[in-house]
Amino acid sequence: MKYLVALVLVVLAVFALRHYMPSLGNSAAGGIVERDGVSMLSDCPDTPNCQSSSGSKATGIFPITLAPKDAIASMARIVESIPGMTVEQYDEKYLHATSTSKVMRFVDDIEFLVNEEGTGLYVRSASRLGKSDLGANAKRIALMRELSAGKL
């Protein structure tokens, strides 16, 4: 019984904190920016809940290697096959998707951009809410890399 009470208190605390934590609004997707004539994904905010392979605040994540010219369409199909993930928009060079957690319904934004050489996809995954993601964005990028191996 005391474990049930503790669990209920934790759930209530998380729901309450959700309303007081810093929020990036309706989207943490930054889109495409131009730096020195090169297109890249926008920088991560100054919180540890974002992982990126491009921009001035890249976090050590490498771009995802790709082969054919329809890599974004292939990545969109992969995204749609993962429970909780939804494609929000994409064209031949850019993909924006969201991932909603099962229990707490937290939404994270995931972006992919074909690099200038056409040899890889820059990737950025950011939480909309809070400061810590407990490694969820890094794990998501690793999953996307694993699922795309051999399919792109």
> Domain with 139 in it: what CATH number?
3.30.310.80
- The per-residue pLDDT for 133 is 85
- C-alpha to C-alpha distance for 122 and 72, rounded to whole angstroms: 11
Rounded-to-integer distance, Cα 109 and Cα 123, Å? 11
pTM reported for the whole predicted model: 0.78
Instruction: Output 51 or 19, whichever has higher pLDDT.
Output: 51
- Amino acid in the structure at residue 92: E
Spatial contact of 50 and 44, defined as CB atoms under 8 Å apart: yes
- Count of domains observed in the chain: 1
Alpha helix positions (H), the chain: 2-18, 71-80, 136-148
> pLDDT > 90: what percent of the chain?
32
SS3 (DSSP) at 12 = helix
The predicted-structure confidence for 8-36, as pLDDT tens digits, reads as follows: 787 676 655 544 455 545 677 788 888 88
Query: Residue 50: CB partners within 8 Å, gap ≥ 6?
Result: 28, 44, 59, 124, 125, 126, 127, 137
Range of the domain at 74: 2-148
